[in-house]
Structures are given as structure tokens and as C-alpha cells.
Structure 1
Amino acid sequence: MGKTPGLDTTKIFAPAVRERMAQAITDAGSNEVFFLGVLDEVGILEGVEVVARGSANAVPVFLERAEEGFHVLIHNHPGGDLTPSPADLSIASEAGARRLGFFIINNDATRVNRVVEPFPEKEEIAVESKEIDGVLGCDGLFGKVLPGFEERTGQLRMAHSVNRAINDGDVAVLEAGTGIGKSFAYLVPAILWAVKNRGRVVISTATIPLGEQLAHRDLPTLQRILGVDFKFALIQGRGNYACRRKAEQVSSEPEIFADDEEREGWIADILDRLAEAKTGTRQEMPGEVPEEIWNDFQSTSDQSLKARCPHYRECFYYEARRKAFGAHIVIVNHHLFFADLNLRKGRGDYESDLVIPGYQKVIFDEAHHLEDVASKHLGSEVSRRGMLQVLGRLLTPRKKRGRQGGRLPWLQSQLAKHHKGEVHELLGMKVIPRVHLVRKEVEQALQRLEVRLEDSRHLIDENGRDGSLMARLGEKKGFMPMTVVTPPLLDARDSLDGLKGLLQECFDLLEDDPFEPEVEYQAAIAELRSAKRSVIEQIGAIDFVKDASGAIQPWVELSSRPQKHLMLRAAPLKVDELLAEHLYRPLSTVIQTSATLRVGESWSFLADRLGWEQVERERLRQEEFDSPFDWPRQVLLGLPEDVPEPDRSGYDKKIHEIVLDSVRGARGRTFVLFTSHRSLKKCAETIRPALQAQGMPLLVQGEAPRTELLRQFVDSGRAVLLGNQSYWEGIDVPGAALSCVVIPRLPFKIPNHPLEQGRAEELESRGKSPFAHLALPRAVLGLRQGFGRLIRTIDDRGVVVIADTRIIKRPYGKRFLSSLPECRRVQADWDQVKTSIEGFFAIDNVEEMLP
């Protein structure tokens, strides 16, 4: 292969810029130098900034810096051959995906190879209303391609609303009734805009399964229908991807990483699966891989060698990112989005690629979850499990065949191979023994903390019935005093800080003593960087919790069942101002959609919790789109009046009777949605014999993975599924397989959770009732979600039974009922409700018998 001489730069580089680059390269010893460049309006390079200096054959590249107003990445090849290397081509591909040029120059900047041409600046092009009609309207593409397609008024109206928000830069809050087809309503305008503008729209979903549904079903359908060339990518958190280099380490030295037969089995299965994996995600692995085993395989930013890694071009994580860089639609989940936003709010940077590629337009599906997710990612946690896991990754607590396992022993073996005596000695003589000592000191500190908490139980307002403890931290009456937890926490912090110092010393020594091959040296550096960072993160979490005050609520949890658990957390009481400042203001478009955003006809609950009230009035739009279902024909709502209120004598017995009667009437095909696992287990034990006698499978949450339980439920056609929490939403079972939903209790959250108590006090400080402005509206949204499991298509029919009489006997029950669809209701004693249910399903039996 011949050399690439490049083009003369006389007419395309400003003279002063050419001289500056040549001088910078000379000053760097004629080694490689990385520049960022700015072009003028006609494409001449008019300015550069030196970003990094390297060796004769490599230089660090910082793609994130490139989006600070620069147009092109530039570096030199000291030998004069401007042919791009494999690493150059990988970086050039990522640069192009970010609309950046990529140039290679010689040492005196007189010749250039324009590997990727710069992209011209463009104004946004609006998507016209007729383009939306041309896809989803009565004579549109959907009608021509999909047999039996009928225009959905709600879907078309919502698509136009999404389109206006994207075109105009609005914050749009859109409640989409069940069955309108909201996924297509937001995907169609998002795709059309992104293609027209060569831009990107991020879709954030509440769960990974919902994201996978978009990626594996809805978006491929749109690729087939729309007739436009668009790309999409589903990306997960980096820790969900396996690292090929780490897998290679585990495979080459299994004795370091496998300290028992169970672990050996997991490792063998994972290595076998990775050999044929397509995406390399945890979901592709065999079974539910334990966290402590996955840690040895997972990709992490601080252990990454990036372009220097021999597996860079086939890296699972970077392949997903490369697809995302060039994608018009990028799908993430809320947790990943807010992990990314947490980084961006510190930097004020929304264009660069961080956890996810840079964006200016985002659509949140199932947006009613945003407060809880945002609160978690803007808070911090210290736990026994977390601290011991960090130390266990560095050094396993047990030896096998006389060898210690973990990342540090692996690093020690690498240093010995390359005769790095000073660092090897420091690692073996000080660092590894120090990890042993730190584990012991941390465990002792946590034990002292447990004793102090037990001795101080009398100071807090409430204790758990099973001996558990959960309390807010602070100096107010009824709180666990911060002085109880601070001394042991500081002891653990001091111990970790000493380990951090030794790891830093090791890192500094190794940084000053490189070795060949370069890739093995960089791997060693990455291991020390990762070890140091993991310890620093634990120290930071301790500081965040112990210093929390004001709008940040700290609390402690202690329990011994089902296993020992000690955790201290701190989280913001409200996220409205954070969302207004770091989401709504900096982004050009934010769309939030869900089937449950209102309580009755009011938007006020989530407007307060999610900060919609802080958006400029002319920029905020709130719209609802009604479901297409014929609720009076399709649904019977049973409201029994003769059920004792929850926790009263006879309540459980009556609930079990109602469940069995409902199941018999529906011939199985029933979800029973609980609010506590204790009630669920009690019901399962009581009704199992009766269901077995009738040949109805009983499926219970926790006895198998959710996907497996749902598969069995649908396949059976007469099963009963008992679920809690996660089964109230995000489950789509269309057709007759699900014909009845029983809700024994209204879904009020436990009011004694420390974060809920703090939120209640915050509302009281503003003169608002915590029940009316937090507990009740949240429960209403939860009930709407549970109710929504039943009817998924216009052909579905079924019964919902709400067996909590507070919905009809308490004044606030009207808030629940007014938020449900206008369906046929039967409010009477259970015997009469049961008769109505039997009559409702008798119609189905007659229709089945008709020819």
C-alpha cells in the first residue's frame, strides 16, 4: 500500500494557523500533537487550539472537547505518511457521526489528508403537518401498508402535538389514553425531524423492556413503512456491556477470578456465550448473572483503553456507541438518562457525548416515573454491601489453591511479568495487605454503627414490626441523631482514605515507569485508575450523606431479614428546580408523555413535582388525548360494599373469597395486584389448593422471572397471576388471556418512609396537605395504571374489581373514581357484584357457542 501525500494547505489553512501548528509540533519534539480547529464561513481553517501532546506514534484524543464550538479534529503523522491508521479510522468514524471533520497533517502543516470533510452549519428545517397526515392519516402510509389500519383520531392529534413541540422548541406534557398508539405518535414526527435535520432525538423509557419493544418491534415497522432512510440505536448503561479485554483476562488466568465451583461454572457459561454474543449485554448472558461475577466482565469507563485497546473495533460498548452517534433515534431508559444528566449539570454541557450522545431534543415515555428516578440519581448511598463489593473487586476475601483473586492480584501478576519491581513490591507489600486491613476496619466500623443504632432505637418515632429500623437522620425529635452515625462513618472514611493514598502512590510510580507492549501498560494503568476511583466514590458517598441538610433528606435503614442489610442514603426532597434548571431550560425540546399524568382533570400534582410551573408560560403545553375504547361496553367495574377496610378483622378472609369468586367467573385469566408482598404471599397460600382443584395455574411474583411468568400466563389461557408493584404497569397482555383484574387495596405508598416523611414536611412548610398533595394523587395515578392493565385493544372485554371500600366510603374516594374511565359500574354487596360478573362473562360463553 502506497503512502498518502495529502493536499497542499496553502489555500485551505490560514498562514498564521499553519505556522502555529508547525511550531507546536516542533515544541513537542516532533511527536504527535492533537489540535481542534475552527473554520470560517468559506471553509478555511482560521484557528486551532492545542489539546494534547503524545509520542512518535500516538496522542490522546478528547472527542468531548471537540463540541465546544470546534469544527474539525487535527493531528500530525511525524513520518509524513498521512494514511489513517485503524485507530485513526475508528476515531474518524466517531467524529463524522458527531458532524465533525477529521484531518491528518505532516509536521510542518503544509500537507493535509482530509479524512472526513467538515459539516456545514444548518438551520433547523420544520416538519410540516401534511407530512404527519401522510403517514398516520386516513390516506397515509400506514393505511396503504398495514392491512385493516384505521385512522386513530387521538394518535393523529398527538403526533401533530409532538411535531409542534419539536419544531417550536416547547416543553410538552401529553397524556395519552390507553390504546391511542402513543409510541408511533411520538416516533413518526421525531424520525421525520431527525432525518430532515441530520439530527438526533433521544427517547427515554421507564424500563429496558419498553425500550427493547421500541427497538425490536416499533422502529423496524417504521423503517418498513416510512420510506425514509433512518437509523436508530438502543443503548444501555455501560455496566450492562461485557468487556472483551476483561473477558480475555478472566479466560487466561481463571484461577485468579474463580474461587469456588459455582463461580467457575458462571465464568465458563459467560465465556461460552460471549463467543457468539451479538450485543454483549447482560441480558444475553445465561440466566441472572450475580453482580459480583458480572463485575469481572463488565465494561467500565475507568478501565477502558479506548482506541488503544486491541478489541476497540469489535468492542460491544463502543459498537453500541458508534451506532448511537450516527443514529437519528437513540433509545435509553430513565436511569441511564439521569445518570447522563447528572454529569451534564456539573459541566453545563449538553452537546458533548457523555454517558449517551449529545442531544437537544428528548421524549420521555412513562414520564410519571421521573421524580423517583431523578431523585435517586441526584442523591447518594452508602451501604455495607456496596463498600464490601468495592473491596471484594480489588481483592476477593477467600483464596483458592493458595492464590488470592481479584483485580489487584491480576495486576500484580502483570507487573511481575514485566519486571516492574518497585510498583510490584509496593502492591504486594503495602497495597494488598492494606486492602485486607481496610476490609476488616470497615466491617468493624459498620458493626459499631449497628450497635450504636440499636442502642439509639428509643430516640426514633417508629421501628419496624420485624425488628428492622428505618429513620431520618438529623437533630430533630424523633430522628436518629447524625452524631450516632458520624463517628463510625468517619472511621470507615479514614480507612478508605488511607487506601486511596497508597493506590495513588502506586499509580504515580507506574505512570513514571512505562513498559512495552503499550496495550499491557495501559491496561495496568487503567486497573489502578479504576481501583482509585472506586474508593474515591465510596468516600464521596460518605461525605454526601453525612453533610446532607436542608433540601437533601438523609436516612438510615437496618434489617436482618431476609439477609443483613445496612444502608444510609440521602436524596433531594424535590426535583422541580433541578429539572427546570438542568433539563427544561438548556434543551430545545422536552416532551413528557404517559397514560397517567393527571389526577381527575387536574395537572397540578405533577406540575408541582416535576417543575412544569417553572417553565415559561408560552413554552409549556399540556394536552390530553382520550382513549379510543368503548369503556361502558368493554369494562365492568365491581365495587363491593361489604368488605372490611384494610387491616380490619375479616379483611383478608373476604379478599381471598373475592379473588376466588372473580377467578371462577373469569375462568382464570386474572391478575391480582397487591401493594405488599406479605399480603400477596398470604393470598397465594390460601387460594392455591382451590385453584389446583379447578386446573387453574397459580403464578406468583418471585417464583420465576417476570417474562417467564407472563409467558406462562398467556400460554395457559386460564392462569391466575399474583403480582406486586412492578406488575401494576408496563405489562401488555391483549386479548382474552387477561379478562379480570382484582385490586384488593388502593396503592397508597408507605407514609413512614423517611423520604416520604421529608416530602410531607416540605409540603407542610408551604401550607399544603401532604395527603391531598402527595399521598392521594400518587395513589390515584397508581390505580389508573393498575386499571389500565385490563383493556389493551378495542376488542378486549373484562372486569376490574376494586375491593377497597375506602373508594366508596371515604370522601377522597371520589378523586379515584373520577380519574377512572366512564365504564359500567356495579356498587353493591359482594354477592350482587359477583352475580353481575358472572352475567358479564356469560355473554362471552354464549358468543363462543354460536356458529
Structure 2
Amino acid sequence: MGKDIVVLDIEITDLESDQDTVFKLAALRVCCQQIQKSVHMVIGHQGIISHHLNGADITDEVLESISLSQHGQIILDFFDDAILVGHDVSEYLSRLEQVLKVRFQQPLWDTLDLARILYPSMHHYQLLYLAEKLSLPSREETLNLSENGVWLIWKLFEACWKKGLEFDLSFFDHANSFLEGWAGKGFFQELQKEMIRSFPDRPIRTDLVLAPPPEGLFVLEKNPPPMIPESIDWVVGNFSPGGNLERNLASYESRPGQVMMAKLIAEGFSSSHHVVVEAGTGTGKSFAYLIPSLWSAKKTGQKVVVATHTIPLQEQLQKKDIPVLEGVLPFPFRASVLKGKNNYCCLKKWQGCLGIREHLSAEQKLAILSVLVWLRETLTGDVQELSKVPGLMEIWPSVCADNETCLPGRCAKAGVCFLLRARKKAEESDVLIVNHSLLFSDLKTDYNVLPEYRRLVIDEAHQIYQTALQHLGSELSVEDVGRIIDSIYRPAGLSFYGTVKQRLDALAHIVPSVPWEIVIKRLEGIPGICAGVMAQTKELFDLLSMILGEERTFRFVAQHALSPWWNGLNVQIENLVGRIKTLLRTLEGLTGILSEEDADEIEELKYILTSHQRELQELVDTLTQAINVNNPKQVTWLEQSTRLYLKTSPIEVSDILKAKIFSRLDAVVLTSATLSISNSFEHFLNDIGLPKDTITAQVDSPFDYERQMQFIVVRKGINYLNSDQEKALELSEFIAEVAERMNGRTLVLFTAHSLLRQTYTALAPILSRIGVETLAQGIQGERSTLIEAFKRNPKSVLLGANSFWEGIDIPGDALSCVILVKLPFWPPTLPLIEARSEYLKSQGRDPFRELLLPEAVIRFKQGFGRLIRSKGDRGVVILLDDRVIEKYYGRFFLGSLPIKTHIRGENTFVFRKIEEYNRDLDEELL
């Protein structure tokens, strides 16, 4: 690139007030890939604290006597006639302009945006993370250490430029449409000029540019397949001392628990019986079920499905465990991952999306550019590969394959369809990895989602009951209805109505026997009917919002039939159902007109119509079910989160699971680190519909909990009679004391978001004064972002609520303390919990003992398990809820933990014990 660039990095330290803000500015002026000058300034509101300017004619001058305005002019001169390049620096640059009372007129190319576009699978875009992942060259020795950040920004810019030069010119044809109004537009314009100049012979592609597909979905076996061992002893032998795994994997150690688990699973598969195994952390349970699963699949020729709850575990199986086993097992096998349709990019929808630029925000346009790059690299089309950059999840519904009108066999993109490719791999797999949601989608559609299978492994099985409740129920929002109606008719954009109108002349020519004048007449009524459905939906949800008021949830019960709003609600739902049925009849009429025709184009229309009718019927069923409050086995409620939902759910799912899973399949293995309560599986078995004589086993963790950790119960830790504000102050003081002694490295688990937020407000300033960062769920970002930030800076405290109690894996020194604020009982007033409790009471059963207590113990075990994730981990778990030692039910919590001893005492005693533990640990390490 012929133009000069100024690469800059700005750090800001805010002290007691705005007037105490200190700016650190480092900049390099670069021409033809060579540094011409550099500047480093430390600037306060009262003037320049220090200033170093290096260049061809100036050598390490320290200029401290010049006024603030004169320094502003020096910076303007340094920036003159150059393009500014920085990393997420625009806000800081604006603040610096205010202090210096200057205006920088140059365009700013943000390497944060450039990296998001050009490296769409990075997942995180912090500068140091990018430097590590992209192996950016290290800093030149001639540069000052404080200029390390600006050096990395320059090298990141060069990496983006170099990658951009690899593209074909069609990339720019598509990209230019989405660059208007963005400051970085000039980067791609300069890149295009450079490409035309440097690579004049590069071909111009006109079709979709995708990564070259692999030669085959699976590598064909060149040699005759080896004989598969018949005996279960072979499975067990893999895990035994001196066995296959120990011989081939340097870090592998035989573990008795893993041997026992693998044997039980292999026996279950061979003898066709169900097995439940609780396997403690560190058991190696994924190998313990994968090897028997692969062995069984190869021996019988019947697929085994493995279902996980979380994406991280799915990723671990796919990218870590399966590749290891491919290298050590004596037979080849095929394993694949299948996800829900909405995870895959639909190339047909993507092409349509490229033609629509109106009504897109700046963030959405940049997200489209990110996808444009990603499609040149991905082999799967799976959205989980993509970083969740701003705007992506807003455009994803417009490009994903979750489309009821999709006809893969007749699609022009069928040959390169990511969903079809994933399904074909799934069909040909020996072991297929899915998630719980897809497993239940298969059950809900009478087994039309997954390929046929007779053996199933459910990992993270403690979640299966909640997942079943969620998927066997239904939910409705204005946005859900809008999505369905938009697919039928929308004034602008793709819809059934618009597509048929556009193709009408061609269809009439191809199939003249259809009475198209009647079709046109029926079509003309659709816009008005759809508008009526949406208007009625908004009226209904306005009423529901009024009923909910300021609450987060509201359960409908039989007594509400006496409320003044009940009749109005019934009328609103009946009106909406009536309007939806009118639309249904219109679509059914169109289907009837086309029913006798079998041309491909008509078959496609009939398929689309049938799909829309099914979706509309589901709306009718949900609405009708919602006002049936006399069914004791069902609950209906309102829930306000990001939007207002009307939800329904069954209360009991054991009979459904028994019928649809356990009675149908030959063998089901259920495993998790937390299934038992005080060594009993009774609650879990009863919940999911398995008989008491099901084969169960507890496999202890190989970790030495008594040596690796201390468990401390704080007496009078928090006064739960206090207000949340008072609790937050108490908590912040306690956490700060612990964090100072632990040098950060602390995870605090809450049961309520409101208390978390208030604690963060009180805690953050205290920790800031001792140099510890405070990270909080719902404040700095979503879960994966916060966990990565915590790992990068262990000198921090991470506050998390419900979703942080499980699925977090932070081995090593980064996490050395877990604080459990409260025993994790679900609030008894949650609609589903309340309804399940009432149902148990109606049967003469105790909801506390059979529902609230077991659920809390399982969640408690999950939270406790966040600390020790490897044999080298050390640390402290602190419980601030002394009910565990004061109440009779505390023994169920303590008796379910892998550690048998604990320390109890008040705050000062606890702080002293932490100091003693740290001293002992330091001596042990010495």
C-alpha cells in the first residue's frame, strides 16, 4: 500500500475524577512497511507528563515544558496525511481529542473490525489473544517496551492485509455493497487496487466461492477391514495397566473407576440393558463410553448415538477425544457430529441475503462480511465455528437452514449443501454425536430427525429431565408468531406469497391445467389475513404484559377463572385462534386446488404449504392448551426475559421418556458426575422413568480431594433476613478479603441475578484499589467471553449465576477459590416448580424431599465441582450458607460430596484458615 499509516495505541487510566484521567499514547508512522517515526506520550488534563519522539531528524527528545495545545499540534503533525490504524480505539481517540482540543480528520481503520471480518473463526479478538493465535512477529528490540501494543496492532494490520490479498475479485464485488458508511471501507478499496495491480491474472469467480470439499465425506478404507474383537475383555483391556491406551498415550494412566465404567457399558450394549453411571471428575468418562460404543457399532453394524448437553463437551468429543482414538484403536471407524438445522448455513438463503442491503445496521453489514470470508474456509457451515460478532445473531435467521420450506433434493445448491453433507455423514457414521435438544427434536417428530439407532449414550444426564420438560412443552412470543407470518407474507423480502406471485406466469406456462385465476383470488386475501393475525397477536401480548405487570413470571391457575381479566384473555385467544384458522383454511384451499397435480414445481408448492399449515396448527394447539388450566399434569405461565413468552410444559415426563426412549431402545447409558444423592440413585431413576432395579454404579474420582482442597463452611456468613442491598455490602466485604488473600483467582456462584448485580456494584471499586479485576455475568458479557477473560487474567474475581454452576472447566492456578453464596434451592414460586410441587402434594408426597432438596443437592455438587478439574489443582471451596450444618437436610448435601471433612467458623477464622492454607501450599510447592 502506497499511503502512510499511523498505527496508534491508547490506554486510559481513570482515577478519582475525569480531571485525573491519564492517557498513554504510543504511535508508529509507517511507510512502505518501514517505521519512519514513533511517539510515546503520557498525557494528563493538566499537561504532558512525559513525551518521547523518535524519528529521522529527532532523537529521543523529552519535551515536558511545552503546553497542552502545543502537544496537540505535535500529534496533528505526526498524524498528518496518514491513515490511522488502531485496535478498538475510537472511543479513546475521541476522549483524547476533547482533552487536546483538536480534531483528527483522517480515516480510522479499526483492526478489531478488520480481524472480525478476515478471521471470522477466532471467537475472541483481544489483541494479545490474536497475537498468539496468528503467531504475530515479536517486537523489534529497538522499540520501547511500552510500545509493544502498537507493534502488535501494526503486525495484526499486516496480517489482515496479507490475508485479504488471497481473495478473488468476486469477494470485493459482494463486499462493496455492504461497506457504505463504514470507516474501514477504504481498507478494502485499497486492497482491491493492490490485488488488481499485483495479480492481474487472478480469475473472477461468478458463483458462490466455497472451501473445496473433501474428497469424500469419510476416507475410504484401502485395506480389508480388520476383524473386530468379540470379547468384552478386549474393551476392558484397553484401559487396564499396560493396555492399549497406556502403551500408546504418553500421559495416560490406568484408573480402576474408568475400567469398571467401560466394562459396565460394554456389558450393557452386549446384553441389551440400560446402565446408569455416576463418574466423578477426572474419571475419563468420555473414553469409557466412546470405546465400548465404537466397539459395539463395528461389531454389530448398528449405529450408537452419543448425546451431550453442552456444546463444549460436544466440541471436546469431536476435536480431541475422537482424533486420539483414531490413532490408537486397531480398527477404522466413522464418527460425526449432527446439529439442529438452525446451526447450518443455507447457501440458497445466503445468496438471497447478499441481494438485500436495506434495513441493515452497520453491525449487521460487518457480520455479513464476516460470513462472506468464513464461507471460503468452512467445511461444515456450522455457526459454532463463527465468532459471535455484533450483528451476527440478528442476520443468522435469514441465512440458516432452519427453513420448513426447504426441499434439499430439489434445491439448486443440494450438491454443496452443508446440512445435506452433515446428514449424509450422520447416516454413514458408526458413532453419531448430537446434543440433548436434537435428541428430543427426534422424539417429538416421531424419529424423523436422526438416522435409525438402537443404542444411546446420554452424557451430562443430570440435565435430561429439564431438557425433556423444555422440549416437550411449547412457548410463544410475538416474535415467534411474526417469524411464521413473515415466511407466509411480508411486504418486502422473501415469503411464500411473494415467491408465488413472482413465479405466477412461469407456473401458469409450465402447468396450465391448474385454475390459476382461483389461486390468484385466494392469494389476494393473504396479506390482509396475515396483518390481522399480527394485530391480534400484539393485542393479546399487550394484555399478557398487563397481567404480568412488574413480575418476571406469572402462572395461570384454575382460580384465575374468577379474575376480571380472565374472560378478556379467553376472548383474545379465541380471536387469535380464529384468525389463524382463517389463514389455515386459505392455505388448505390452495393445497386442495393443487392436490391433483404432480409436476415438480407444484410438488414444491404443496410441500411449502403443508409446512406452513403445520406451523400454524402448532400455534393453535399452544394457544388452546394455554387456557386449559384444569389439567393437573400441565402448567402454563408467562415469563419475561429478553421478550415476553407464553409457555406451557408437562409436569411429569417419566412416562414419556419410558415410552419414547427406554422401552424402544436396546440399551441406554446415562452418565454424569452428579446423579446420586447421598449414594442413592432413587430420585434420578424415578424422575426419568427407569425401574429401581436398573444397573447403577458410582465411580469415584481419582483426585485426592482431602489433600488437594479445603472445604470451609462460614458460620453466620450472610444474614438472609437482610435486604439485597445489605447482603450485597456484606458479600462485597467478604469476597474482597478472600480475593486479596487469593490474589484474585476466585469464582463466586450466586443463585439470583439481582444480588449478583448489586454485589458487583459494591465490590468492583474495592477490588480495583487492590489491582483485582471484577468480571460479572450480564454486565461485561456472556459466559464464554467472561471465562476467557478470567483465564487470561487470573488476578480477577468472576461473579456468575445459574449457568455458571456447571460446564465451566478452568484447571490450574487460574482458579483457586470457589465461593458458593447460597445453597442452590430453586425458588418454590417458579411456575414449573410450584406446579410440580402441587402435583406431588396431590399424590400425598413431600415436594421438599422429592423435588426441591434433590434438585438443590445436584446443583450444589455441580458448583462444588468447579474447583478441582485435574490432579494438579489446589484450592478452597467456601460456602456462605450455614444451613448445611444447622438444618437436618444439610447431611444430604455434605454426604454427596467427594470430600468427607470440612472446616467451619466465622469470618475471621475463615480468613486465618485461608492464609494458613496458602502458607502450607507454598511450602508443599517448595
| Pairwise CA distance, 1:153 | 0.7
Q: Which amino acid aligns with 1:408?
A: Y
Residue 602 of structure 1 is matched in structure 2 by 680
Please point out which of 272, 277, 297 is paired with 2:378: 277
Residues 596 and 381 (structure 1 numbering): CA distance in 2 closer, same or farther, change over 3 Å? same
Q: Does the 8 Å contact 1:184/1:218 carry over to 2?
A: yes
| CA distance in 2 between partners of 1:637 and 1:486 (Å) | 54
Unaligned runs of 5+ in 1: 1-92, 98-123, 345-349, 455-463
Please point out which of 584, 600, 611 is paired with 1:500: 584
Residue 375 of structure 1 is matched in structure 2 by 469
Matched, 1:655 2:731: yes
Residues 505 and 258 (structure 1 numbering): CA distance in 2 closer, same or farther, change over 3 Å? farther
Q: Which amino acid aligns with 1:656?
A: S
| CA distance in 1 between partners of 2:359 and 2:370 (Å) | 13
Residue 768 of structure 2 is matched in structure 1 by 692
| CA distance in 2 between partners of 1:365 and 1:776 (Å) | 23
Matches within 5 A, 1:339-358: 339-344=441-446, 354-358=448-452
| CA distance in 2 between partners of 1:138 and 1:700 (Å) | 45
Matches within 5 A, 1:551-630: 551-557=632-638, 559=640, 565-613=643-691, 617=693, 620-630=694-704
| Pairwise CA distance, 1:468 | 4.6
| Pairwise CA distance, 1:728 | 0.7
| Pairwise CA distance, 1:554 | 2.7
Taking structure 2 as the reference length, what is the TM-score of the superposition?
Answer: 0.70
Q: Does the 8 Å contact 1:551/1:572 carry over to 2?
A: no
| CA distance in 2 between partners of 1:272 and 1:621 (Å) | 51
For each residue in 1:499-541, what CA deviation from the matched residue of structure 2 results, as whole angstroms up to 9, or x when unmatched?
Answer: 12222333444566787xx5x6665555444433332221222
Please identify, of 808-817 and 546-555, the stretch whose mean Cα deviation from structure 2 is larger: 546-555
Unaligned runs of 5+ in 2: 1-215, 220-226, 510-515
Residue 42 of structure 2 is matched in structure 1 by none
Matched, 1:667 2:770: no
Residue 32 of structure 1 is matched in structure 2 by none
Please point out which of 873, 878, 886 is paired with 1:801: 878
| CA distance in 1 between partners of 2:545 and 2:794 (Å) | 50
| CA distance in 1 between partners of 2:652 and 2:535 (Å) | 38
For each residue in 1:158-209, what CA deviation from the matched residue of structure 2 results, as whole angstroms up to 9, or x when unmatched?
Answer: 1111111111111111111111111111111111111111221111111122
Q: Which amino acid aligns with 1:497?
A: K
| CA distance in 2 between partners of 1:709 and 1:274 (Å) | 28
Please identify, of 131-140 and 527-536, the stretch whose mean Cα deviation from structure 2 is larger: 527-536
Please point out which of 302, 307, 316 is paired with 2:404: 302
| CA distance in 2 between partners of 1:508 and 1:273 (Å) | 43
Residues 423 and 310 (structure 1 numbering): CA distance in 2 closer, same or farther, change over 3 Å? farther
| Pairwise CA distance, 1:688 | 1.0
Residue 834 of structure 1 is matched in structure 2 by 911
Residues 321 and 511 (structure 1 numbering): CA distance in 2 closer, same or farther, change over 3 Å? same
Residue 335 of structure 1 is matched in structure 2 by 437
Residues 777 and 418 (structure 1 numbering): CA distance in 2 closer, same or farther, change over 3 Å? same
Please identify, of 366-375 and 421-430, the stretch whose mean Cα deviation from structure 2 is larger: 421-430
Residues 250 and 503 (structure 1 numbering): CA distance in 2 closer, same or farther, change over 3 Å? farther
For each residue in 1:290-345, what CA deviation from the matched residue of structure 2 results, as whole angstroms up to 9, or x when unmatched?
Answer: 6663332222463222322222232111111111111111111111111111223x
Secondary structure of 1:638's aligned partner: strand
Residue 435 of structure 1 is matched in structure 2 by 530
Q: Does the 8 Å contact 1:234/1:330 carry over to 2?
A: yes
Q: Which amino acid aligns with 2:747?
A: F
| Pairwise CA distance, 1:141 | 1.2
Please point out which of 783, 786, 809 is paired with 2:860: 783
Q: Which amino acid aligns with 1:553?
A: Q
For each residue in 1:787-818, what CA deviation from the matched residue of structure 2 results, as whole angstroms up to 9, or x when unmatched?
Answer: 00100111211100000121122221122111
For each residue in 1:331-363, what CA deviation from the matched residue of structure 2 results, as whole angstroms up to 9, or x when unmatched?
Answer: 11111111111223xxxxx6xxx2111111111
For each residue in 1:585-636, what CA deviation from the matched residue of structure 2 results, as whole angstroms up to 9, or x when unmatched?
Answer: 11100111111111112222112211223x7x4xx20111111111111110
| CA distance in 1 between partners of 2:508 and 2:665 (Å) | 52
For each residue in 1:363-385, what CA deviation from the matched residue of structure 2 results, as whole angstroms up to 9, or x when unmatched?
Answer: 11111111111112222223333
Residues 509 and 477 (structure 1 numbering): CA distance in 2 closer, same or farther, change over 3 Å? closer
Residue 50 of structure 2 is matched in structure 1 by none
| CA distance in 1 between partners of 2:249 and 2:823 (Å) | 40
| CA distance in 2 between partners of 1:182 and 1:490 (Å) | 52
Secondary structure of 2:432's aligned partner: strand
Q: Does the 8 Å contact 1:473/1:480 carry over to 2?
A: no
Residues 260 and 529 (structure 1 numbering): CA distance in 2 closer, same or farther, change over 3 Å? farther
Q: Which amino acid aligns with 2:503?
A: Q
| Pairwise CA distance, 1:137 | 0.8
Residue 713 of structure 1 is matched in structure 2 by 790
| CA distance in 2 between partners of 1:629 and 1:409 (Å) | 63
Greater relative contact order: 1 or 2 (C-alpha under 8 angstroms, separation 6 or more)? 1
Matched, 1:413 2:474: no
Please point out which of 463, 488, 495 is paired with 1:394: 488
Secondary structure of 2:665's aligned partner: coil
| CA distance in 2 between partners of 1:340 and 1:811 (Å) | 43
Residues 448 and 696 (structure 1 numbering): CA distance in 2 closer, same or farther, change over 3 Å? closer
Residues 416 and 554 (structure 1 numbering): CA distance in 2 closer, same or farther, change over 3 Å? farther
Q: Does the 8 Å contact 1:510/1:525 carry over to 2?
A: yes
Please point out which of 562, 575, 595 is paired with 1:491: 575
Residue 237 of structure 1 is matched in structure 2 by 340
Q: Which amino acid aligns with 2:858?
A: L
Identity %: 30
| CA distance in 2 between partners of 1:299 and 1:794 (Å) | 43
Secondary structure of 1:612's aligned partner: coil
Residue 50 of structure 1 is matched in structure 2 by none
Residues 438 and 224 (structure 1 numbering): CA distance in 2 closer, same or farther, change over 3 Å? same
Please point out which of 554, 557, 567 is paired with 1:473: 557
Residue 4 of structure 1 is matched in structure 2 by none
Residues 467 and 143 (structure 1 numbering): CA distance in 2 closer, same or farther, change over 3 Å? closer
Secondary structure of 1:337's aligned partner: helix
| CA distance in 1 between partners of 2:639 and 2:327 (Å) | 53
